[in-house]
Amino acid sequence: MIIEGLVTTLGPAGACHVAPMGPRFENSEWDDSFELAPFQGSATLRHLVEHPEGVFHLDDRVMLFAQLIVGGWEGPVCSAAEVVAGWVVQGVCRAVEFRVEGQDLSGMRSCLSCRVMRRHEYRAMSGFNRAKHAVVEAAILASRRHMIQRGELESRLADLYPLVSKTGGSEELQAFALLRNYALADDQVSRQVAQ
């Protein structure tokens, strides 16, 4: 089972680097281990190879996902993790400190086997209605805009919009608009289309 959330890693000089990511858990986020599959060349993979510890976060504020994708987040308020050398984003619902115990870097997406070192419960999740799910899907599409043909991207975003407009509030509407504008921006020199 893949659960979408945020992963923090140690960036340059120990700074907090945050990226949206969906680890694969066997049964639930309470498993003792999980796998991460960051793309080759990503900052998250580079950081975890250099320093194999991080923190996975569950949160119900979809604007965070949108801002991370488009680069509009000024930076998270973080505190030091308790067991690993890493950072916990403040205000999240849950966090899982982890250590990478195995890696396969041979594919386009790496496979990092992670062991849970400490769990944190900060607040109850309000849940994800259809609009929040749609925003998370739009964030995934926007993060892969260089791999998807523009027509397909427009179509998939158009399919998601009614879910946001019918069941979302102002946060979901703003987050979706931010992601749509970013995904369909004409400032890209070229698009590599996934085959």
CATH number at residue 135: 1.20.58.290
pLDDT tens profile 137-177: 999 899 889 889 999 999 999 999 999 999 999 999 999 99
3-state helix, strand, coil in the chain (%, to 5): 35, 30, 35
Number of domains into which the chain is organized: 2
Do residue 148 and residue 106 come from a single domain? no
pLDDT tens profile 4-25: 999 999 998 999 998 889 999 9
Burial state string for 112-150 with b = 16 or more CB within 10 A and e = fewer than 16: bebebbeeeeeeeeeeeeebbbbbbbbbbbbbebeebee
The reported pTM is 0.84
Residues 6+ apart with CB under 8 A from 66: 72, 135, 138, 139, 174, 175, 176, 178, 179
The C-alpha atoms of residue 103 and residue 109 are separated, in whole angstroms, by 11
Q: Provide the pLDDT for residue 131.
A: 96
Q: Provide the pLDDT for residue 149.
A: 93
Which residues partner with 100 through β-bridges? 114
Between 30 and 126, whose confidence is greater? 126
Do residue 101 and residue 136 come from a single domain? no
Range of the domain at 165: 130-183
- Best-predicted range by mean pLDDT (1-15, 63-77, 94-108): 94-108
Which of 67, 96, 121 finishes a domain?
121
Please check the confidence at residue 191 and state whether its pLDDT lies above 90. Answer: no
CATH number at residue 28: 2.30.110.10
Q: Using H for helix, E for strand and C for coil, what is the string for 47-80?
A: HHHHCCEEEEEECCCHHHHHHHHHCCCCCCCEEE
Do residue 66 and residue 105 come from a single domain? yes
